[in-house]
Amino acid sequence: MTEQTIASQTFLGIAEALAVMEAAQPEGWGDKVTQKLPPEWIKTRKGPGGTDLEYIEGHRVIELLAEASGRRFSFLVLHSYIQPSYGRQLVVRNQKGYRDPVMEVDCPSCGKPFRYVKGYNVQQIQCMHCKTQLPASLYPGTPVLEPQPPIAHVLGMLIVPGVGAVSQWGSKVLLGGADEQESAFKAAATDAFKKCATLLGIGLELYDKDEDDKDEDKAIGPVPMPSYAPPAPMPSVPTQPAPAPQATAPQPQPAAPASVPAAATPELADWPQDQVERMKDLREKLGIPADNRAALNPLVSAWSGGKLTSYNQITPANIKEFCDYMESLLQGAEVAN
């Protein structure tokens, strides 16, 4: 459909709508539009989140509209197109029912991509090819997307003399074989027609049910909360004034290495200074700032196989092995690049 054809049909639709606006409203329009739907007309289908949605079929809408308007209505297709869909994040439900995203990572050791489920408490991931353990904080990966089918869209205009002209979009997902795809635009046009009819009052009963349910909830009123007595206040105990501290000369404290807090640091002379500087250099290359040493915790856990969980547990006896582990991560990343 060319732009000229779209503009021409749009102009004809608007001209026809303006021509019929001055016509008299069909007799009994309001009563016929708002009449209660027969129960056998109402169908049910599954909606988002597993909810049940009620609807009526297209030929039922035509029957209601024809009866209410005296068969004086017209429907125009103003525009149609196919929209490509974006991919959807692939997720896996965990034991608690939450959706955990699936990520893809290139292994720095073997260079092959592998996938893992990114849970909130996942600290280590393992390559499915070479079994290399990697810290999840340093290798977050990229989201794995599921391809989605394209969608057919139709813009329609419904005109009822003496009532008005309304327009709405309808859509249909392009699924199945050629037989189903052949009728995609017809299904999208029917969807647009039904939505236009809703704007004129056809089938509003199905949409009013949600509001009726809300009114029933309001009529019931809020559930009263059980009353309780506040706990009795604790009796006050007279306190003795604290003795004044005696003035003492401040004792000099040894400075701590850059990677270990002073509270958990042995004497400065016990630390191998070459490894302290090496650890600082490796930390900077890994992009871990000096004011966020807690980011080292996943590395400590991965290096120790879960036996250690905090950078505070790094000691003069194991600092060299931990530095060797960090250097191996950097070398693996360089190989992957």
Residue 289: Cβ-neighbour burial (10 angstroms; 0-12, 13-18, 19+): exposed
Angle of helix 184-199 relative to helix 58-69, nearest 10 degrees? Answer: 40
Digitized pLDDT (tens) for each residue of the chain, 337 residues in all = 555 555 455 555 555 555 555 677 888 888 888 888 888 888 888 766 667 778 888 888 898 899 888 888 999 999 999 999 888 888 888 778 888 899 999 999 999 999 988 888 888 999 999 999 999 888 888 999 988 999 999 999 999 988 889 999 999 998 877 777 788 999 999 999 999 998 888 887 777 554 444 444 443 333 343 343 444 444 444 445 545 555 555 444 444 344 444 334 456 667 888 888 898 888 887 777 777 777 787 778 777 877 887 888 888 889 899 888 888 777 654 444 4
**Residue 190, pLDDT score:** 92
**Residue 83, pLDDT score:** 92
| C-alpha dihedral, 266 to 272 to 275 to 276, nearest 10° | 40
**Residue 154, pLDDT score:** 95
Q: Each residue of 164-210: pLDDT tens digit?
A: 899 999 999 988 777 777 889 999 999 999 999 988 888 877 775 54
Residue 165: Cβ-neighbour burial (10 angstroms; 0-12, 13-18, 19+): buried
Domains, the chain, with CATH or none: 3-76+157-215 (3.30.390), 88-146 (no CATH), 262-336 (no CATH)
Q: Which amino acid belongs to residue 309?
A: T
Contacts of 122 (CB under 8 A, 6+ apart): 116, 136
CA distance 12 to 78: 10
**Residue 261, pLDDT score:** 40
Contacts of 29 (CB under 8 A, 6+ apart): 68, 69, 162, 163
**Residue 76, pLDDT score:** 92
**Residue 265, pLDDT score:** 45
**Residue 36, pLDDT score:** 84
User: Token pair of 137, please?
Assistant: 């904080």
CA distance 129 to 111: 10
**Residue 282, pLDDT score:** 84
